[in-house]
C-alpha cells in the first residue's frame, strides 16, 4: 500500500439499500431480532437499464448474473474516485462464549464470567466454535454451493477474516469447499482491524500469530501483524465511535488495495454493526453462521 497516497485521501462509504431486501424489517419480524441468510442472499430482482437485446436471449440471465453485470457497468462508467463493491458479510458460527453467556445470563457474564479464562471445564479465551457453530458453517457452505450453482451468485473474489479463532474457522468451513469445487483458490487474508469490538472480555483476546500460522497455514496474514495481541486490554472497552473509526480504516485499506468487486468479510456481530455505521446505515443484528450481502459505494475524496 502506498501510505503517502493513502494519507492524502479519505473515503466516504454509502450503503445502497435499494438492491437488497429490507434487513431492518426482517430483523423486526424475527423473534430474536436478528437477520439470517436470505434466499438468493436477499437480492431484489429488478431491471438495470440493460440493453434490449438481452430480451432475445434463449435463456434469460439469473438476477445475480444481471446484477453482477450492472456492478461491472457501474465501475466502468463511474468517475475514477468512485468504486462499487458487493460485500458478503458473514457472522461467525456459534461460539463457546455465546453458549456460556446464554447459560449464566448477560449480567453475570458481563460482570464476572467474561473476565475469566473459563469455568474450569471450557475456555473462552479467543473463543472457539461449538459443535453447533461448526454445523452452522457447514450448512452455510452448502447454501453457497447451491446459490452459485442454481442462482449464479458470484463467489467472492477476495476473502478477509477477523483474526479471532471463531472467524478463522468459520471462513474455512464456509468458503473452502465452494471455492475448491468451482476451481478457485482459497487463501483468506487475516486483518487485525476486522476483529470484534474490543472489550475487557477474554473471548475478544486473540491468539498469537504463530498459533494462527500453525492452524491455518493457507491463510495470508497482513503485513505488520504482531505476534502477541497488542490491542486487547483487560481494563478497557473500545467506544462505539472508536470501533466505527476502526472499521472505517479497514474498509479504506480494502478499497484502496483490492480491485475485486465481490468481497467476503468474516466478522462478528458488533463488527457488522460498525461496518454498517461506517457506511452511513442504521445497524441491525445478524444471526450466527449467516451471510448478508450489501452494495457499497465508495467515494475517494482529497483531504483539505
DSSP label of 220: E
143 vs 148: CA distance, rounded Å: 9
> Rg (Cα) of the chain, in Å, rounded?
20
Q: Which of 101, 196, 238, 253 is catalytic?
A: 196
The answer to whether the CB of 159 falls within 8 A of the CB of 175 is yes
Selecting among 92, 97, 243, 268, the annotated active-site residue is 92
Which residues does 80 contact at the CB level (< 8 Å), separation at least 6? none
Q: Is-contact 122 298, C-beta < 8 A?
A: no
| Residue 105: Cβ-neighbour burial (10 angstroms; 0-12, 13-18, 19+) | exposed
CA 190 to CA 66: how far, in whole Å? 31
196 belongs to the catalytic site: yes
228 included as an active-site residue = no
Give the active site residues.
92, 196
Amino acid at each position: 500500500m502506498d501510505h503517502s497516497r493513502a494519507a492524502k485521501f479519505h473515503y466516504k462509504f454509502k450503503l445502497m439499500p435499494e438492491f437488497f431486501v429490507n434487513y431492518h424489517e426482517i430483523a423486526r419480524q424475527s423473534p430474536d431480532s436478528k437477520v439470517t441468510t436470505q434466499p438468493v442472499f436477499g437480492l431484489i430482482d429488478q431491471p438495470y437499464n440493460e440493453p434490449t437485446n438481452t430480451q432475445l436471449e434463449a435463456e434469460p440471465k439469473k438476477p445475480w448474473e444481471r446484477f453482477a453485470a450492472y456492478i461491472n457497468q457501474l465501475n466502468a462508467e463511474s468517475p475514477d474516485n468512485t468504486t462499487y463493491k458487493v460485500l458478503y458479510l458473514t457472522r461467525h458460527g456459534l461460539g463457546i462464549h455465546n453458549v456460556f453467556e446464554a447459560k449464566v445470563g448477560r449480567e453475570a457474564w458481563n460482570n464476572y464470567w467474561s473476565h475469566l479464562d473459563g469455568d474450569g471445564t471450557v475456555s473462552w479465551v479467543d473463543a472457539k466454535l461449538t459443535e453447533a457453530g461448526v454445523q452452522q458453517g457447514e450448512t452455510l457452505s452448502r447454501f453457497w454451493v447451491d446459490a452459485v450453482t442454481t442462482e449464479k451468485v458470484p463467489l467472492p473474489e477476495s476473502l478477509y477474516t477477523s483474526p479471532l479463532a471463531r472467524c478463522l474457522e468459520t471462513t474455512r468451513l464456509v468458503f473452502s469447499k465452494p471455492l475448491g469445487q468451482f476451481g478457485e483458490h482459497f487463501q483468506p487474508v487475516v486483518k487485525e482491524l476486522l476483529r470484534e469490538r474490543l472489550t475487557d472480555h477474554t473471548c475478544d483476546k486473540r491468539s498469537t500469530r504463530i498459533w494462527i500460522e500453525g492452524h491455518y497455514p493457507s491463510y495470508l496474514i497482513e503485513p505488520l501483524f504482531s505476534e502477541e495481541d497488542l490491542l486487547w486490554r483487560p481494563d478497557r472497552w473500545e467506544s462505539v465511535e472508536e470501533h466505527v473509526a476502526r472499521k472505517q480504516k479497514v474498509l479504506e485499506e480494502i478499497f484502496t488495495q483490492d480491485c475485486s468487486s465481490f468481497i467476503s468479510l468474516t466478522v462478528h456481530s458488533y463488527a457488522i454493526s460498525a461496518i454498517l455505521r461506517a457506511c452511513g446505515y442504521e445497524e441491525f443484528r445478524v444471526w450466527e453462521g449467516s451471510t448478508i450481502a450489501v452494495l457499497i459505494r465508495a467515494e475517494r475524496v482529497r483531504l483539505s
